[in-house]
Structure 1
Amino acid sequence: MTISAAQGIRSPSPPGTVTVVAYVLLTGNQWVSRWLVSGDLPEGGRWLVASLTTVRWRLTPERGNEWGFWAANLRTLFFVGLLIFGLARLARSARGGGVLAPVVGTSVLGACAATLLGNLVAAVFLGWPSYETSWEYSTPQGDEFSDLVLAPMTTAAFFGLLFGLVLTPVVARTRPRRVARRDHEPMSFW
């Protein structure tokens, strides 16, 4: 950790890491996510709440749903890892300008990739889920591919978009600022 008068204290983690971890710990735990969807919500409200709790973690399987337990935990781990990796790459490569598109894009890509990876790893190690036990928060529509693959990806993309929009001001505010060069400093070609 280095201290500079122009930049203040420099953190070893990329901007937005604390926000990502805090969100996952606070809203992703099984008690809060269960409480959020336990109310009497219409189908659209239920889908919105399920989208906001896409990255959820469990300590115990619910209703004997072993596949959902591992898929949710893996999805959350992959999302946090991919998003922090993406934010670190953005922090190193950003040379000024806007951060909205890169942060939202990283969040959407991280959420979709984490959902796909989490479901795929759970399917490889535990087998394909039974159709009846794979649904936690929404109603199946009838087509297994659509319900087990496309619906979670759509939910993850929507979550990534919303989370990226919330994360952008945090990243923009905590991103290190470049110090303007003084005119009398000699330029170095090395």
Structure 2
Amino acid sequence: MDRRIRKTKKAFYEAFLKLLETQNLQQITVTAIVKEADVNRSTFYKHYTEKEDLLNEIIESVLGDLQAAYNDPYQRDTSFTAQNLQPYMIKIFDHVYKHQLFYRHVISSKISPNFQNRICHVIQDLVLRDATKSAIPKDLNPSILTSYQAHAIFGTIVYWVENNFSETSDYMSKQLFLILKTQHQLDSSK
């Protein structure tokens, strides 16, 4: 994508998310978006038909970045498995911090209340990939296990957002690592 287009779209993203701080989705107009972005209206319509197209593009961009953050350890080390995970390898909290305004709106339900479930489904699909590679008890349904894990991960994100990002992303990664490690130790002792 051309640098100017990226810059313009970034201005639209930031304007839209900033407007969500004071208005609900229905109140936001294209006029308000272009004014906040300091871009003319025709440029908006060059890229989008309506504000919902912009929102959908923001959502897809953030979900793509979430998948990239989760996959980061796999990209760096081809021998990586979930069993040799270390705190510094967990990049989800770096992703959330990078998109903190977006996640504030998701947690406060300013962006479709159902979107929280969509994030959990993306995380669940990613975790399911790992679950199929690891030894899980044959009586345990992998879909139920990964749903539990995805919602637990999302729960740590909710905690962090609701506490105004008072801890660092490194701290949150270490906490998630310790939670996963503790859970694994409990499971192994049974």
Using structure 2 for the length normalisation, give the TM-score.
Answer: 0.30
Task: Between the two structures, name the one with larger relative contact order (CA 8 Å, sep ≥ 6).
Answer: 1
Find the structure with the greater CA-based Rg: 1
Kindly indicate which of the two structures has a greater share of residues assigned to helix. 2
Using structure 1 for the length normalisation, give the TM-score.
Answer: 0.30
